[in-house]
Amino acid sequence: MKDGSMSQDLELELLVPQPKKRRGTGWNARDITLVSIFASIWIASQITLGPVIGRFSIGPVSLHGVVNRVVGWMLMLVLADISAGFGMVSAMSLIAALGTRIIRLSPLTGFVVGAGYALGGLAFDAILSNRHSAGLRGAPKKLLPLFASAISGALAMAPYVLFKLSVLSLDAFLALAPVYAVSTIKGVLFSVVGTSLALSVLPRVKAASEFIV
């Protein structure tokens, strides 16, 4: 009976993904593969779906940039959950930002917006990877990612707003401030939507990621 019990336990260990031990700061082939795959999904989604969905609106709210927010922040949480520390989400966001900016008609505006997505990824990465050292261990599982998406989603607008502040007169900037505020709120909401979608698919993605070695 004891041998049978040990055999069953071994089968369960092989079938059920086990928590990965935290590694050092170095990346291995699996890390590079995951970053490449997730960045490619983000870039492909934006290039193919972004221009189409961006033409539509929900009432007065334009859906421009929604693909970047929903897909990008969904991928951020999934990658953060299956990775082992700080850096992979930031790298993925930077690569995706560069990849999605090549189709912009205005290189300068594209660079500024891309910097926002890279900054958002960096903030999201920092919050989730340092959740234990920051004393957030007791936070509910779903609350912390949503908090991270809201903060990083707002920060993603910062480079664009600062760019407008630098090129517009103060009066013009203040006149357009409500527009920037609405854009920031929209960005935060769709970032949270992306994170919420990720929470629903995490178990399946985590199991599939175990086969990437």
Per-chain mean pLDDT for the chain? 82
% of the chain surpassing 90 pLDDT: 51
> pLDDT-derived band of residue 21, with 50, 70 and 90 as boundaries?
very low
pLDDT single digits (tens) 146-187 = 999 999 999 999 999 999 999 999 999 999 999 999 999 999
- pLDDT over 80 at 204, yes or no: no
**Does residue 88 belong to any structural domain of this protein?**
yes
- pLDDT over 80 at 113, yes or no: yes
**Does residue 14 belong to any structural domain of this protein?**
no
For the residues 19-23, what does the mean pLDDT come to? 46
Domain count, the chain: 1
3-state SS string for the chain: CHHHHHHHHHHHHHHCCCCCCCCCCCCCHHHHHHHHHHHHHHHHHHHHHHHHHCCCEECCEECCCHHHHHHHHHHHHHHHHHCCCCCHHHHHHHHHHHHHHCCCCCHHHHHHHHHHHHHHHHHHHHHHHCCCCCCCCCCCCCHHHHHHHHHHHHHCCHHHHHHHHHHCCHHHHHHHHHHHHHHHHHHHHHHHHHHHHHHHHHHHHHHHHCCCC
Q: pTM here?
A: 0.79
**Does residue 159 belong to any structural domain of this protein?**
yes
**Does residue 53 belong to any structural domain of this protein?**
yes
pLDDT single digits (tens) 45-65 = 999 998 889 888 887 778 888
**Does residue 160 belong to any structural domain of this protein?**
yes
**Does residue 6 belong to any structural domain of this protein?**
no
pLDDT, residue 139, reads 55
**Domain span at 157:** 29-209
CATH of the domain at 66: 1.10.1760
**Does residue 16 belong to any structural domain of this protein?**
no
**Does residue 117 belong to any structural domain of this protein?**
yes
